[in-house]
Copies of this chain bind each other. A is one copy, B any other.
Amino acid sequence: MKAFIVHAHHEPTSYTAALFQTAQAALREGGHEVRTSDLYAMGFNPVAGMHDFAQPEDRATLHFQKEQHHAAETRTFAADVAAEQEKLAWADLVIFQFPLWWFGLPGILKGWCDRVLAYGWAYGRSERFDSGGLRGRRALLAISVGAPEARYQEGAIFGAIDRVLYPIQVGILNYVGLEVLPPFLAWGVPRVDDATRQAYLTRYAARLRGIEHETPLPFHSATLFPDPLGQTSLDPTALRRG
């Protein structure tokens, strides 16, 4: 497989960075090709804006989805966005390596999604879920979690981890057509001892060496949800300002 790892941690000596290094080595040992985006090291700008577009249709007023659609049609995304899209298009497997911050993605990685998974490119008028622009590819969330697993259960203080990850796994990954593998979760990372931390790395490496044999989670299929509006979406050129 061709694996693309998007890494979002500010500190090269962090445990999350150790997971990132472990993933690259394990995937290569498993015979897979690896490319990466280390968002902090790249100085990736997570703020969506006019700078996303090399040749915007309207330089005075930014309608973000319309400009994304135009940039997709004319292949005029800004270089930093286009470079990420090229890696996504190349990949069979996309791994998001990050610490869980506020039940979600760090800002730098959320902004990466906002900018890179563009309308007209990663999804479109009728290209969503199993017809999404990145269909045929798989995704894995590989997450360092501050709290222990016991807190992320249904009925526990934080609720089930599936519920916490729903907006990411369904609202981002599935939405653009990625089939989602069960997340890799390193629990209580700031609290556990060295042996437990090492065991997570070992388990992660073993899993990644055979990742091509895994079965994705059930897909959030658009075809199972007849559109209550009798249409999938409006013509993108007819979208009004949001």
Q: Are A241 and B171 in contact (CB under 8 A)?
A: no
Q: Is A151 an interface residue (CB 8 A)?
A: yes
Contact string against B for A residues 139-163, beta-carbon threshold 8 Å, 1 for contact and 0 otherwise: 0000010101011000011110001
Contact check, B151 vs A171: say whether CB atoms are below 8 A apart.
no
- A228 sits at the interface (CB 8 A): yes
Known: A47-B46, A102-B172, A156-B228. A14 touches B108 (CB 8 A): no
For the complex of A and B, the 3 pairs showing the least CB-CB separation, nearest first, are A107-B111, A103-B171, A103-B167
Q: Which of A194-242 contact B (CB under 8 A)?
A: 197, 220, 222, 225, 227-229, 234, 239-242
Number of copies: 2
Tell whether, in the assembled complex, residue A14 and residue B159 are in contact, meaning their CB atoms are under 8 Å apart.
Answer: no
Contact of A49 among B10, B63, B112, B167 (CB under 8 A): B10
- Whether A64 and B10, one on each chain, are in contact in the complex, defined by CB atoms closer than 8 angstroms, is yes
Residue A74 CB within 8 A of the other chain: no
Would you call A56 an interface residue if the criterion is a C-beta within 8 Å of the partner chain's C-beta atoms?
no
Q: Give every chain B residue within 8 A of A220 (Cβ-Cβ).
A: 157
Give the residue among A13, A14, A110 with the most B Cβ atoms within 10 A: A110
Q: Does A191 have its Cβ within 8 Å of any Cβ on chain B?
A: yes
Is there a chain B Cβ closer than 8 Å to A106's Cβ?
yes
Contacts of A4 in B (CB 8 A): none
The CA-CA distance from A239 to B156 in the complex, in Å, is 22
Interface residue? A121 (CB, 8 A): no
A111-145 interface (Cβ within 8 A of B): 111-115, 117, 129, 144
- The reply to whether B164 and A242 contact each other, CB–CB distance below 8 Å, is no
Show 25 A/B contacts (Cβ-Cβ < 8 Å), sorted by A. A10-B64, A11-B61, A11-B62, A14-B241, A15-B241, A46-B111, A47-B108, A48-B107, A48-B108, A104-B105, A104-B110, A106-B110, A107-B111, A107-B113, A107-B115, A110-B110, A110-B111, A144-B242, A146-B242, A148-B228, A148-B229, A157-B220, A159-B170, A166-B167, A191-B240
Q: What's the nearest-Cβ distance from chain B to residue A46, in Å?
A: 4
Extra 7 A-B pairs, beta carbons < 8 Å, given A16-B242, A104-B110: A10-B64, A14-B242, A65-B190, A102-B167, A104-B168, A144-B242, A190-B242
Contact with B along A154-188 (1 / 0, CB 8 A): 00111100011011101110010000000000000
Chain B residue, CB-CB nearest to A108: B47
